[in-house]
Structure 1
């Protein structure tokens, strides 16, 4: 009886592990954009003890070639949504002078993507940043923001 129980637990463990691995693999694969489209990945991190944050940006073409990868420290930022918005803002500031015509921006924040895709004025605490980002997005002829889970970098 104890052996049967141990074997049963082992089988269950392997099944759960395999499902988790498949789920992680499904979301962790980078998906290229359409031909001729560039993809900008953004993220941010907060370092509360230093009253500082860092934003990171990665731009790739449709073949996965990295066109730029950079990060920047941001002082006085302690809000996760604000940091992620700043990452998009900084990424756009780098992309616009490059003359990009077709850009997909990916963020792991579903709420942020919703804010940026909403056509009405943002009434959130980050409204001013949302407005700035939307204004910069208008300078790229085809610019789209989409959600990609955490493992999708």
Structure 2
């Protein structure tokens, strides 16, 4: 971009003659650069170049998935069983795993928490895992679902319901659209687990639907070495 050139003129020139695919990539990358600029200006946080690019491709992938589903907005899920606002017990002899993830920028950590309950609603197990890096929120949410799927695989014949409050990630796991990003790699691992585990169901739930014990588990993530 030449000095003194207005951004609108530069963007118009860059988009001229480009395919629809390349136009989407250019616009999304510009948006990600703008986000990084605002974070530096207002919060004093500097993004690495790889993060800027990764965020752009991840957002574009998520947008395409929601568009392919014909959704007006990601606040209105249309998959049967999605969108619960009150936590409910699983069916008899079934289990339920609630997952959550968090990013602690000041501590330079990310973490996940999982709570498993039986058909009576009793807590039967819990897991936390911490990572010594500040991850993209969608990435750590995807890792949480992957951990839950791996956990469910160990339960043999028991049917397990997995609930997450991150609709974007749930949609990515359900979709078959290719994703070329770090998040996409974990999403593909989740898809493989879903195919391998016949006794698992994945649902999106509203934030208020999570059991309170998960919040306690969520706060313990920082203590995990």
Judge same fold: TM > 0.5, yes or no: yes
The TM-score normalised by the length of structure 2 is 0.51
2:98–2:162 contact (8 Å) kept in structure 1: yes
| Alignment RMSD (CA, Å) | 1.9
Q: Which runs of 4+ in 1 moved over 4 A?
A: none
2:177 pairs with 1:121: yes
The counterpart of 1:105, out of the listed 162, 173, 188, is 162
The structure with more strand, counted as a fraction of residues = 1
CA distance in 2, matches of 1:142, 1:95: 8
**Between Structure 1 and Structure 2, how many residues are aligned?**
126
Match runs of 1:1-153 below 5 Å:
27=85, 29-118=86-175, 120-123=176-179, 125=181, 126-153=183-210
**TM norm structure 1:** 0.73
Q: Can you give the 5+ residue segments of structure 2 that lack an aligned partner in the other structure?
A: 1-83, 211-225
Assess, with a 3 A threshold, how the Cα gap between structure 1 residues 77 and 93 changes in structure 2: closer, same or farther.
farther
Q: Deviations over 1:14-59 (max 9, x none)?
A: xxxxxxxxxxxx82x3211222321111010101123211100011
Q: Could you say what secondary structure the match of 1:151 adopts? A: helix
Judging changes above 3 Å, is the alpha-carbon distance between structure 1 residues 95 and 144 closer, same or farther for their aligned structure 2 residues?
Answer: closer
Which stretches in structure 1 are left out of the alignment for 5+ residues? 1-25
Tell me how far apart the structure 2 counterparts of residues 40 and 148 of structure 1 sit (CA, whole Å). Answer: 12
